[in-house]
């Protein structure tokens, strides 16, 4: 899924290929301690084309975030393969993965929780650079200030705690932390959710600028179909842990083939219309 479409557009082979990926969570009921299983991912197949924005949409609990965590190797899949830049990485040990991790970075939804509250803004950028042995000493602070400026934060804010920053500024910092490592693939897990529309637009512009400057590939996890329609090149629709439809964004969003895609589009339109009615009522 996706490779053919990318090839038709003259794009190079997929930066990441996912084959037959499955993940099951086993949990226990609180009192009886009976085990029950949740199939979070079921035989997922997907290609991520380089330099493109691939979006994953689906209702809550459809497995989007689990897939993102598996692709970022924060969660281990039970079976299946993950190919990144031509190497099968799903069975790699943590030590093998360490140098590769800088190439796959993730930006989380909860920017407040995703930043260490004990660190200053500059320290947050510096920490991954130090872990990956990219910079040392004075060069480290210099690089941190460069990154802060690149994501639209003032270098004077270097010593500020993330708690002193607004939601949008925190998300910029989280993006800066990720791009500081010069990744090839950036996974945006609902990174624009929870921000007001104006901030969302600013962050979106920043992401598009950074994509151009750093030749980044994005995997965008979102439930906002209008946002996906604006920036995605490819869209995958998830339901019950599997990808039920995948293709070029205009095709998937314009002429959906699967019921789940139609349902998501209908509910998005319904929400939009309800919002317009509410606004019109408010004005009257």
Give the interface with another protein as residue ranges (CB under 8 A). 69, 72-74, 94, 97-102, 104-106, 108, 110, 113-118, 127-128, 131-132, 161, 163-164, 174, 177, 181
CA nearest to 267, candidates 221, 236, 220, 224: 224
Q: How far is the CB of 244 from another protein (least distance, A)?
A: 27
Q: Which is nearer to another protein, 118 or 283 (CB)?
A: 118
Question: Taking the alpha carbons of 161, 164, 212, 229 in that order, is the dihedral positive or negative?
Answer: positive
Q: How far is the CB of 148 from another protein (least distance, A)?
A: 17
| Contact status, residue 20 vs residue 88, Cβ threshold 8 Å | no
Q: Which is nearer to another protein, 177 or 223 (CB)?
A: 177
What are the distances in angstroms from CA 250 to CA 91, 95, 205, 236, 246?
35, 41, 20, 12, 11
Q: Which is nearer to another protein, 105 or 239 (CB)?
A: 105
Q: How far is the CB of 106 from another protein (least distance, A)?
A: 5
Helix, coil or strand: residue 121: helix
Residue 156 DSSP code: G
Q: Residue 115 has which token pair?
A: 């930043």
Q: How far is the CB of 130 from another protein (least distance, A)?
A: 9
Q: Which is nearer to another protein, 62 or 105 (CB)?
A: 105
Q: How far is the CB of 29 from another protein (least distance, A)?
A: 15
Query: Number of helices and strands (H, E) in the chain?
Result: 11, 10
Q: Which is nearer to another protein, 37 or 284 (CB)?
A: 37
């Amino acid at each position: 899924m996706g490779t053919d479409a990318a090839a038709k557009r003259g794009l190079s082979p997929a930066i990441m290929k996912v084959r037959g990926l499955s993940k099951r969570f086993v949990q226990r009921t609180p009192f009886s301690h009976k085990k029950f299983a949740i199939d979070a991912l079921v035989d997922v197949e997907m290609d991520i084309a380089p330099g493109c924005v691939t979006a994953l949409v689906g209702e809550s609990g459809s497995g989007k975030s689990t897939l993102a965590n598996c692709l970022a190797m924060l969660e281990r899949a039970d079976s299946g393969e993950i190919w990144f830049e031509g190497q099968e990485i799903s069975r790699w040990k943590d030590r093998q993965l360490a140098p590769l991790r800088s190439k796959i970075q993730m930006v989380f939804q909860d920017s407040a929780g995703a930043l260490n509250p004990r660190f200053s803004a500059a320290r947050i950028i510096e920490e991954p650079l130090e872990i990956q042995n990219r910079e040392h000493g004075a060069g480290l602070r210099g690089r941190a200030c460069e990154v802060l400026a690149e994501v639209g934060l003032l270098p004077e804010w270097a010593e500020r705690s993330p708690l002193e920053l607004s939601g949008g500024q925190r998300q910029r910092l989280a993006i800066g932390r990720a791009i500081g490592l010069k990744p090839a693939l950036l996974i945006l897990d609902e990174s624009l959710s929870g921000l007001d529309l104006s901030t969302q637009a600013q962050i979106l512009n920043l992401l598009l600028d950074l994509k151009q400057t750093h030749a980044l590939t994005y995997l965008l996890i979102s439930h906002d179909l209008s946002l996906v329609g604006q920036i995605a090149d490819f869209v995958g629709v998830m339901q019950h842990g599997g990808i039920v439809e995948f293709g070029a964004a205009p095709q998937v969003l314009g002429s959906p083939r699967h019921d789940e895609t139609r349902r998501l589009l209908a509910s998005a339109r319904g929400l939009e219309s309800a919002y317009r009615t509410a606004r019109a009522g408010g004005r009257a």
